Structure formats: structure tokens, C-alpha cells
Amino acid sequence: MGMIDLHVHSAYSDGSMTPKELVDYAVEKGIRAMALTDHDTVDGIDEILEYAKDKPLTVIPGIEYSTEYHGRDVHIVGLFIDYKAPVFLDYLARFKQSRTDRNHKLCANLRGAGIDITYEALLHAFPNAVITRAHYAKFLLDKGYVKSRTEAFERYLGDHTPYFVHREKITPEEVIEVTRRAGGIPVLAHPTLYRLGKKELESLIKRLKAAGLMAMETYYSTYTPSEEKKMKALAKRYGLLESGGSDFHGDNKPGLDLGTGYGRLYIHEEVLDKMKKTVQTKLLFTDLDGTLLTTEKKVSDKMREKLLAMIKAGHSLVLASGRPVDSILEVLGELGIWDEAVQMQAQGGFAAGRIYATAYNGAVLYDCIEKKVMESYHVPMWAAQKLFDMAKEHELHIQTYADTHVVSIADDDAIKYYTQFIHMPYVVGDKLSKELSHEPFKVLTIDLKDRQKLEAFRLEVEGSPLGEALACAFSNDYYLEFYHKKAGKGNALVNMCRALNIPEKNAVAAGDEENDISMIQEAGVGVAMANASPYLKEHADYITENDNNNDGIAEVIDRFILADLV
């Protein structure tokens, strides 16, 4: 296995080497892969990729963001970013303008201290560089205003000095979101440098993990063996990928070398292999009824084989439905892929894809292989009861779910129609505190004849206090579903991607009805079936040529999941 370095700076920020010089030096040292992570800029990436393309070196596009957390600088490294993605370029343009404004103010403050300095003079002294305080320090040293870099920071540039200018507050959460949207891996850089206590550091990691952090630097030039061990344990505890690098700056950090840091750093290539797996893995989120399943609630042999081919290739399937978990598992059993998927997982381990579910319109995230709930969001009991009471006044069918059965307001045509397809027993009751042992995951209203009646009910609910607590959407012309605002298929897609450390850009989502809209909007590729509602098609990136009765999802798998293998 070769050596890698996933945290390196060039002269485009505050390093001393050009991108070409970095490539030549990395090849000379036998480094197999390197990430260019200049501060708040990607200006050197085109140059380094072009120069390295015929060299025995893999270059990963990256960036190091400067953010603020409780008054401290916290750095986030972005790896494998699509550095030309509009969402990323929009952020970078705003950040660069903020940095420019700050530099003008800092120069004005220093001139007030008797120093002859302008921002234009700095740009002339350091062409093509993103100006940082390190450049100010060198400028002051070269002009004779200070005798050392340390003096420059102590007298003029440090946070405690009267000349310091705070940057625009950019949060770690913001750049994590931008990185994920650009298909990259957000990494917490050198966490030991923030001088946080054990509890404070864990609080930071937990907070950033919830925001979508995917990795942290468990290897770094200044880590002691004890610190490295602690960082590895934290990464494992919070389900984060491991990363690391030298933080090489060339001559601007004397004694710190590329790849080896201060002498004991060594990052194995397997760290990069796991990251590559993450950015190459795709998730197919597919609705069931009207999407994956035919009108007879079946799938063809061709469809079954295509699903297995996708899983064998290392990609994962997410069955995204308004159905309860048990009903989704019943469908999974009928698909005839569960046993083979489990076997592939046992044989292939990390290389094989998996099967997951988002049930009750995203209120429950479920691992179908491990048979366990990953996350869940409930409808408050008071809100569910209020919905039942309002529906009863409107003479509208309503139902909710216990763990093993449906709770229906009446033994009517609606519940009989529903249980034809969802093979669950039901009981009749309207006092939910007696019928349920815990808060439900969703509430469903049904009218088999008059959608307008459901539309009117929706407007009344949204205009009441319930509208603040719940979200709702139609799953077909007969079903209007209510669920927690943190649920919904779009939120479920984001939550599942974060739980699995996969960028949302890698998600492909397909559906046919209104409750699928949020899901296809959050995905990297949003697909409407040929048989989908016109409203859903307006929000889609792609509309299938074939409908759900003619293997439309097989078309999606070929085009967006297995295309690189065809």
C-alpha cells in the first residue's frame, strides 16, 4: 500500500510551491495520492489536475474552509468536491467578496498604526494567492516593521490586537452543506488544534455529524500517538470516515514535509479507498406503488435481476414509501432479492450494496439487512387525536398505525380498500391514547370518491395550530397523509444519506405522486415515472420512457446507476 496526503497547500493560498512543483515533489517522494486543499480557493485545481494527469499520482480536488464556532476558528476540509458546481461557485464568490472586504479594513487599520500597506500592494507582493494573515506577516517582516512572524501576530495580526478584523461569520454547518451539495466529503480538520476540552470536542463533532459531517482527520502532523488513538476512537464512535494529511505549506512551515509531516506521519492508501467507495456509491430511492411495483403490485424477472445487479455492483436500494415497515418488508420478500442481498453482503462485505427503507413517508429509516430502526419521527399524540376529531366532524375516513395493526376510525369501505394492498389487521377506535402504546408515525385520511373533500380538509388543518406541527402530502388521489415536519420523503433522503456518509448528489430518486416531490428535489437526480402526475413531472430532472408496468425503474438503474459499467 502506498502513502497518501489529503491536506496540502500551494502558492494559490499560503503555501510556497506551485501546483506543478507539488506534483513533482510528491512523485519524487513516492506519494500515491494527494489532495490540494488551499484556503478558501480552488484556483489551483485545474492546473494541478492537468499537470498530474500523466504522472503516477492521483490528485483529489479539495479546499480548506475557514469557519467560526463559538468564537474560534474551525477548519473544514472538502475532498472530492465538484469544484465547478453552481452551488459551490455561488458560495465561493460570496466568501471571496467577504474576505476582500475584510482585507481592505485590516489594511486601513494597519495604516492607522503608521504602516504603509494597501490591499493592492499585498496582491502585487503575492500574485495569484488568497491573502491570509500569513501573507501580512511576511509583508511586515520584509518591509522591516517587525523582526519575526511571531512579533507580527503579537503586535498587529492576532485576534487580541486592536487592528484585527473579524471575518463574516461562516458556520461549519454552512460549508458542510455546500460541500455535500457539490458531491464532496466534508472533513473536520485537525481537531486537536482548537484546544477544546474532551466534552467540548465531542459536542462539536456530534453537532457537525448531525449537520452532515462525513469524516475527520485522525492523522495529522502534530498528533502524538495518544492523540491519534483518541481521534480514531472518536471517528468510530460517531460513524465518521478517517482522513488526514500533513498540512504541507512548503517553506512557509519549516520542518514539516509532504506526506510525513514532522517525521512520524504515515497515511495508508486504504483510507483513500474507503473515501472513494463513498463518493462512488449511489443510492436508488424508489417509491413502491406506481413506481417500482406494477398495478398488480408485482415486479418482473427483468426488474428483479436489475435490482440485484445494482446491489452486486456496490450500490444500495432504498424503498421509500408511505407504507408501514412491515408492509415494506412484505414487498421486499415478494421481490425475491432479500436472501441474495444478504448473501452478497456476507461475501462482499464493504463492496456489496445494501437494502434500506424509509417508511411512513420518511418518518422511519430502517436497515432491512440488520432489521433495525435507524431514525424515527413521531406525530405528537395530541396532534393525531386532533386530526381524528376533525376528520370525524367532516365525516372523513382517518386512520393511523400501531406496531402490528391499523387503527381505523370506522369499519368502512376505505379501510377495506386499504387493507387489500397493505396486508395488516385493523381495529376500530377513535381514542388514540387507548388504542396506541406510543405516538404514531403518520396519520392517513382517505376519500375514495372526492379528492376535493381531502383538499378542503388539508386547507383547514394547515390553517390551524396543527399546521405548525405537521406536514402533509397526497400519495395518490385518494390518500392525504400527515407526518412530522422532520419526516417526509425529502428529509428522509437527506437523513439517510447523512446516516450512510453518502453525498446527496449520489442519490437517484424516482416517484409518481405529490408526496415524492420533496424526495426528487433533494436527490442528485430526480426522476418522474412516465405514469407520474403532471405536477410531479414539472419538478423532475428526467422522465422515464417506460411506466411502472414496463420496468421504468430498470431504465433508471441502467441510465443513472450502472451507466459506468455498461
* Domain assignment of residue 239, yes or no: yes
Alpha-carbon distance of 296 to 506, in angstroms, equals 31
260-276 as b/e: b if 16+ CB within 10 A: bbeeebebeeebbeebe
* Domain assignment of residue 160, yes or no: no
pLDDT at 565 > cutoff 60: no
Quick one: which H or E segment has residue 426? strand 426-428
The least confident of 64-68, 433-437, 486-490, 527-531 is 64-68
Alpha-carbon distance of 140 to 153, in angstroms, equals 10
pLDDT at 566 > cutoff 70: no
Query: What's the predicted TM-score (pTM) here?
Result: 0.83
* Domain assignment of residue 245, yes or no: yes
* Domain assignment of residue 12, yes or no: yes
Which of 248, 279, 310 is the C-terminal boundary of a domain?
279
- Please return the burial class of 307, using the count of CB atoms within 10 Å of its CB with bins 0-12, 13-18 and 19+: buried
* Domain assignment of residue 159, yes or no: no
pLDDT at 523 > cutoff 60: yes
53 and 191 together in one domain = yes
The per-residue pLDDT for 351 is 61
CATH number, domain of 532, equals: 3.40.50.1000
Quick one: which H or E segment has residue 46? helix 45-52
38 and 113 together in one domain = no
The structural domain count of the chain equals 4
130 and 28 together in one domain = no
220 and 265 together in one domain = yes
330 and 418 together in one domain = no
- Residue pLDDT, tens place only, 58-100: 999 999 998 888 878 899 999 999 999 999 999 888 888 888 8
175 and 303 together in one domain = no
Q: Give 188's strand partners.
A: 76, 216
406 and 522 together in one domain = no
* Domain assignment of residue 264, yes or no: yes
C-alpha closest to that of 131 among 42, 68, 48, 39: 39
- Residue pLDDT, tens place only, 417-469: 999 888 899 999 999 999 999 999 999 999 999 999 999 999 999 999 999 99
- Residue pLDDT, tens place only, 191-227: 999 989 999 999 999 999 999 999 999 999 999 999 9
500 and 472 together in one domain = no
520 and 440 together in one domain = no
What is the rounded average pLDDT of the residues 99-104? 88
26 and 76 together in one domain = yes
For 444-500, give the DSSP string: EEE-SS-HHHHHHHHHHHHTSTHHHHEEEEESSSSEEEEEETT-SHHHHHHHHHHHT
Which of 255, 279, 303 is the C-terminal boundary of a domain?
279
CATH number, domain of 35, equals: 3.20.20.140
546 and 417 together in one domain = no
* Domain assignment of residue 162, yes or no: no
180 and 286 together in one domain = no
The per-residue pLDDT for 348 is 59
* Domain assignment of residue 163, yes or no: no
Q: What is the 3-state secondary structure (H, E, C) of 294-359?
A: CCCCCCCHHHHHHHHHHHHCCCEEEEECCCCHHHHHHHHHHHCCHHHHHHHHHHHHHHCCCEEEEE
Q: Which domain holds residue 25?
A: 3-89+169-279
